Amino acid sequence: MSGELQGRTAVVTGASKGIGLAVVAALAGAGARVLAGSRGTSAELDALVAGGGVEWVRADLADPAAAGRLVDAAGGRVDVLVNNVGTAPVRTGGFLSVTDEEWQRTVDLNLLAAVRVTRAALPLMLEAGSGSVVTVASVNATLPDPMVIDYSAGKAALVAFSKALSKEVGPKGVRLNTVSPGPVETDLWLGSGGVAATVSAASGGAAKDVIEQTSQGMPTGRFSRPAEVADLVLFLAGDRAANITGSDFTIDGGFIPTW
């Protein structure tokens, strides 16, 4: 335990698995009191709650009112907000197959959920004169892919939102940054209904082949691990990053070929 966030309160969305779960563990390990928001819990999140310092809050952020309830559970203080919740449906049928309703759901979870939770938490940060908002975006914000066209658009908007708001509240002591992972070892990519399984089913191949081909596209030859993304989030949340705001940080094993 580093103790760098001792005495601070953090709110994390999409906290029951994957990157969100790893972020909860990292923040709690640094001494923060963590409000872990998600639609449901998991054995791993339950273990963190049992260990102390973590409180689970039921929050389905597809419901606009859930953002306020999640922040209210923090009890009037939020020092760190991590917007992680999102969805990445694979559009194997192409652009013309994506309905308005599907676009709306993707934009709601990938953009508007973060907007709403940030809106709820920001007054507390402004009152305190300090705070850090770290939002999990994606390499697809700058490397859009037709297979995840609505996801790419939502994540690009998310990065723009964070950058714009950082200019407004930076002089008031609140920082906003985004973290843009490439492929990560989570269910989103590796699960039974994840990207690899969906793409392979559409092409008649095997999920392991999709995973191997994607891994070969990174100089490191592997996916990032959730804990590695969480370490970057932890750094941006704390005082070591006190003069960093309005920035986007890529963690992708070199997946994006330009700089």
pLDDT digits (tens, 9 = 90+) for 1-24: 568 999 999 999 999 999 999 999
Region of 127 (left: φ > 0; alpha: ψ -120 to 50; beta: rest) is alpha
**C-alpha angle 199/200/202, rounded to 5°?**
65
DSSP for 183-224, written as a single string: SBSSHHHHSTTSHHHHHHHHHTS-HHHHHHHHHHTSTTSSPB
Q: Return the percentage of the chain with pLDDT > 70, whole number.
A: 99
What pLDDT is recorded for position 1? Answer: 54
pLDDT, average across residues 232-236: 98
Task: Report the greatest alpha carbon distance in the chain.
Answer: 55
Closest CA to 71 of 59, 85, 62: 59
pLDDT digits (tens, 9 = 90+) for 56-112: 999 999 999 999 999 999 999 999 999 999 999 999 899 999 999 999 999 999 999
Distance CA 13, CA 15 (A): 5
What pLDDT is recorded for position 58? Answer: 97
> Which residues contact residue 193 at a Cβ distance below 8 angstroms, ignoring those fewer than 6 apart?
187
Domains delineated in the chain: 9-182+224-251 (3.40.50.720), 183-223 (no CATH)
Give the pLDDT band of residue 157 (cuts 50, 70, 90).
Answer: very high
pTM of the predicted model over 0.85: yes
pLDDT, average across residues 23-50: 97
Q: Picking from 23-27, 213-217, 243-247, which range would have the lowest pLDDT averaged per residue?
A: 213-217
Closest CA to 161 of 83, 88, 224: 83
Closest CA to 240 of 128, 132, 163, 138: 132
Q: Is 80 exceeded by the pLDDT of residue 41?
A: yes
Distance of CA 256 to the CA centre of its chain: 19
Q: Which residues are catalytic?
A: 151
pLDDT digits (tens, 9 = 90+) for 183-198: 898 877 777 777 767 7
Alpha helices in the chain (DSSP H): 18-29, 43-50, 66-72, 100-107, 113-128, 149-169, 187-190, 195-203, 207-216, 226-237
Mean pLDDT of the chain: 93
Our CA dihedral for 71, 228, 159, 69, rounded to 10 degrees, sits at -10
Contact yes or no for 253/182 (Cβ under 8 A): yes
What pLDDT is recorded for position 217? Answer: 82
> Which residues contact residue 178 at a Cβ distance below 8 angstroms, ignoring those fewer than 6 apart?
134, 135, 136, 137, 141, 158, 159, 162, 163, 247, 248, 249
